[in-house]
């Protein structure tokens, strides 16, 4: 079998590329739901929003690009950024909506293992941020309260990804990361739900479809899930029924599921 070429090659092989840059669009639904104590009826309203956004991402293997062989050739860098546009949330029982600033990015390192026949596995370690912040200035001036917490997650995310060719023009791609959350943002502050134990995971699965030897279309389904377990020290977790002696809200699940499509250029 003829080996696929990743540099100026005849076959699109994104898993073996020395450099890759991509841009495109995404759409995702975000849902925040709560875990409350048994019999509690004043449950916080669920947050459900759906919107589209723009996406850029890339990878670079500088040692391999410079012609270095051996172990250093598998060491690379990766980055991604996704920004949602036109997102807002309607305040219940009013005609008012609050704009939402939602985005996420990741920066990290990769180490790639070539398994032959253009199949690769990559180990990664990322620093990532993911936030969902409401613009409350207009609401404050109108004396309207949005009963939904802001989040601004910071995490270290070790993970693994794989590229496996299915046909000469289609490559299956998949990735999964564990989110070791360092900070969750405003939701962890005392006026909100307070300190919490937070952890999560995220990943994607999809296909790379070759358009030319160096250009391809990636379509992937993406999923993230962050779990929060509150410690009963936040006002919103203990005072929803005006009784501070009991914890009303024990935790929350912040889930996002969506689809992204990007056009990638490889070298």
Q: What is the pLDDT of residues 172-184, one digit of tens each?
A: 999 999 999 999 9
Task: State the average pLDDT over residues 158-164.
Answer: 97
Q: Looking at per-residue confidence, does 97 or 155 come out higher?
A: 155
Residue pair 95/65 in contact (Cβ under 8 Å)? The answer is no
Task: State the average pLDDT over residues 28-36.
Answer: 96
Give the model's pLDDT for residue 23.
Answer: 98
pLDDT digits (tens, 9 = 90+) for 49-102: 999 999 999 999 999 988 888 889 999 999 999 999 999 998 888 888 999 999
Contacts of 238 (CB under 8 A, 6+ apart): 232, 244, 246, 247, 248
pTM reported for the whole predicted model: 0.90
Assign 155 a pLDDT band (cuts: 50, 70, 90): very high
Q: Looking at per-residue confidence, does 117 or 217 come out higher?
A: 217
Residue pair 161/175 in contact (Cβ under 8 Å)? The answer is yes
Indicate if the pLDDT at residue 226 is higher than 80.
yes
Whole-Å CA distances, 151 to 104, 186, 233, 257:
12, 6, 17, 17
Assign 139 a pLDDT band (cuts: 50, 70, 90): confident
Task: State the average pLDDT over residues 187-193.
Answer: 95
For CA atoms 212, 213, 219, 224, give the dihedral sign.
Answer: negative
Question: Where along the chain do its domains lie?
Answer: 14-266
Assign 10 a pLDDT band (cuts: 50, 70, 90): low
Fold of 14-266: Lipocalin (2.40.128)
Give the model's pLDDT for residue 141.
Answer: 84
Task: State the average pLDDT over residues 180-193.
Answer: 96
Centre a 10 Å sphere on the Cβ of residue 10 and count the other Cβ atoms it contains.
10
Which has the closest alpha carbon to 167: 221, 216, 114? Answer: 216
């Amino acid at each position: 079998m003829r080996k696929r070429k990743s540099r100026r090659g005849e076959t699109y092989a994104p898993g073996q590329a020395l450099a890759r840059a991509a841009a495109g669009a995404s759409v995702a639904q975000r849902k925040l739901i709560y875990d409350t104590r048994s019999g509690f009826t004043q449950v916080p309203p669920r947050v459900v929003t759906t919107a589209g956004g723009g996406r850029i991402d890339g990878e670079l293997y500088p040692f391999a690009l410079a012609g270095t062989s051996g172990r250093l050739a598998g060491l690379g860098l990766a980055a991604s950024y996704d920004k949602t546009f036109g997102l807002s949330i309607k305040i219940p029982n009013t005609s008012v909506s609050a704009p939402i600033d939602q985005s996420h990015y990741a920066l990290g390192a990769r180490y790639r293992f070539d398994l032959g026949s253009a199949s690769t596995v990559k180990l990664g370690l990322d620093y990532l941020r993911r936030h969902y912040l409401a613009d409350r200035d207009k609401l404050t001036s109108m004396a309207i309260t949005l009963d939904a917490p802001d989040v601004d997650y910071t995490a270290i995310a070790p993970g693994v990804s794989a590229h496996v060719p299915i046909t000469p023009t289609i490559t299956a791609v998949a990735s999964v990361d564990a989110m070791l959350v360092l900070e969750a943002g405003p939701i962890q502050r005392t006026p909100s739900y307070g300190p919490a134990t937070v952890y999560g995971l995220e990943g994607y699965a999809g296909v790379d479809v070759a358009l030319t030897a160096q250009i391809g279309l990636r379509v992937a389904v993406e999923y993230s899930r962050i779990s929060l377990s509150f410690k009963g020290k936040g006002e919103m977790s203990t005072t929803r029924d005006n009784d501070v002696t009991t914890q009303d809200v024990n935790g929350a699940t912040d889930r996002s599921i969506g689809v992204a499509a990007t056009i990638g250029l490889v070298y």
